[in-house]
Amino acid sequence: MVERLGERWSPAEKEAAVWKRCADAAACGHLLVDLTHVQLTRLTPLICLAPSSPPILPDPLPSVLESHDIQDESHSQEAGFVEEQDEQSTDPLSTFDDSLLDETQRAHFLRNLHAVEAVLNGATLR
């Protein structure tokens, strides 16, 4: 694939195109590499199946994850952790823990966060 891209593109753009192609093939089940046993690197030999070929499906997920004893124990630990974190976190669904920031950075982060939330909720920009 890299050879077909020619000299028009930079090496970084060529590599990005190859990784994109591999990701698309893996998502469709057309990447002929067992990702459970192989780590993808620049040196990993890759084969992408034709789009018309049937997909290679991953192993099915287990129907039961944990026993009830382990679940009860983990839920009690999570409850204690959530209570500790309630005072610090601004949003339980947030993907970022703003309590790690110093006070100035945290204030700036929260100002920006509230501005984004306002726009998402329909507020107009000034």
Per-residue pLDDT tens for 54-71? 998 877 888 887 765 555
Asked, for residue 87, whether it belongs to a domain, the answer is: no
Which residues neighbour 110 within 8 Å (Cβ) at sequence distance 6 or greater?
90, 98
Name the percent of the chain lying above pLDDT 70.
72
Asked, for residue 21, whether it belongs to a domain, the answer is: yes
Note whether 101 and 49 are same-domain residues.
Answer: no
Using CB atoms within 10 A of its CB, is residue 25 exposed (0-12), middle (13-18) or buried (19+)?
A: buried
Q: Residue 110 pLDDT > 50, yes or no?
A: yes
Asked, for residue 85, whether it belongs to a domain, the answer is: no
Asked, for residue 8, whether it belongs to a domain, the answer is: yes
Query: Which uninterrupted H or E stretch holds 85?
Result: helix 68-86
Least confident of 87-96, 100-109, 115-124: 87-96
Asked, for residue 103, whether it belongs to a domain, the answer is: yes
Question: Reduced to 3 states, what is the DSSP secondary structure of residue 31?
Answer: strand
Query: What gap in Å lies between CA 78 and CA 72, rounded to an integer?
Result: 10
Note whether 3 and 50 are same-domain residues.
Answer: yes
> Which residue did the predictor score with more confidence, 102 or 59?
102
Q: What is the pLDDT of residue 93?
A: 59
Least confident of 6-15, 61-70, 74-83: 74-83
Q: What is the pLDDT of residue 85?
A: 47
Asked, for residue 80, whether it belongs to a domain, the answer is: no
Q: Residue 9 pLDDT > 50, yes or no?
A: yes
Asked, for residue 40, whether it belongs to a domain, the answer is: yes
What separation in angstroms does the CA of 34 have from each of 16, 31, 60, 86, 124? 21, 8, 14, 41, 49
> Which residue did the predictor score with more confidence, 95 or 47?
47
Total number of domains constituting the chain: 2
pLDDT-based confidence at 34, cuts 50/70/90? confident
| Angle ∠(9,14,18) on CA atoms, nearest 5 | 150
Average pLDDT (19-44) is 86
Structural domain containing residue 3? 1-57
Asked, for residue 20, whether it belongs to a domain, the answer is: yes
Note whether 103 and 51 are same-domain residues.
Answer: no
Q: What is the pLDDT of residue 104?
A: 92
